[in-house]
Chain A
Amino acid sequence: MSEENEPITRIITPVHVEYTYTPGVASERFLRGVREGKLLGGACDACGRVYVPSRGACPRCAAPTSEFRELSDKGTVITFCVVRVPAENIDVELPYCTASILLDGADISFTGLIQGCPFEEVRIGMRVQAVWKPEAEWDFSIGNIQHFEPNSEADVPFEDIKEYS
Chain B
Amino acid sequence: MAEHAAVIGVGQTDFDAKREDVSQVGLIREAAERALADAELDWADIDAVVVGKAPDMFEGVMMPELFLAEALGGVGKPMLRVHTAGSVGGSTAIVAASLVQSGVHERVLTVAYEKQSESNAMWALSIKMPFTPIMVAGAGGFFAPLIRGYMERSGAPEDTGIRVALKDRLNALKNPLAHLKLPDVNFEMIQNSPMLWDPVRYLETCPSSDGACALVIGNEKHARAASAPPAWIHATNMKTEPTMFAGRDQVMPKAGLECAAGLYKKAGIQDPRKEIDCAEIYVPFSWFEPMWMENLHFAPINEGWKMTYEGATALDGDLPVNMSGGVLSTNAIGASGMVRFAEAAMQVRGQAGEHQIDGAKKALGHAYGGGSQYFSMWIVADQPLQ
Contact = CB atoms under 8 A, between A and B. Distances in A.
Interface of A: 9-10, 13, 15, 19, 21, 23, 27, 31, 44, 47, 49-51, 58-60, 78-85, 87-90, 92, 96, 98-100, 107-108, 111-113, 119, 124, 140-143, 158, 162-165
Interface string B119-151: 010110011101111111110110011101100
B186 to A, nearest CB: 23
B42 interface: no
Nearest to B252: A165
Contacts of A142: 131-133
Given A13-B60, A59-B245, A143-B131, 9 more contacts: A9-B20, A15-B57, A27-B131, A79-B149, A82-B197, A113-B135, A158-B153, A165-B153, A165-B249
Contact of B250 (A50, A88, A124, A165): A165
Nearest to B144: A81
30 contacts: A19-B130, A23-B131, A27-B131, A51-B246, A58-B245, A60-B245, A60-B246, A78-B149, A79-B146, A81-B145, A81-B198, A85-B122, A85-B140, A85-B196, A87-B137, A90-B126, A90-B137, A98-B135, A98-B136, A99-B145, A108-B244, A113-B135, A141-B132, A142-B133, A143-B133, A158-B153, A163-B247, A163-B249, A165-B149, A165-B152
A84 B197 contact: yes
A81 B136 CA distance: 9
A98 B140 CA distance: 12
Contact of B126 (A10, A49, A89, A162): A89
Given A89-B134, A90-B135, A10 B198 contact: no
Interface of B: 20, 57, 60, 120, 122-123, 126-128, 130-138, 140-141, 144-146, 148-149, 152-153, 194-199, 242, 244-251
B197 A89 contact: no
Secondary structure call for the B interface: loop
Given A87-B122, A87-B137, A88-B120, A82 B250 contact: no
Contact of A87 (B126, B153, B242): B126
Q: Which of B60, B132, B133, B195 has the most CB of A within 10 A?
A: B133
B246 A58 contact: yes
Contacts of A81: 141, 144-145, 148, 197-199
A78 B135 CA distance: 16
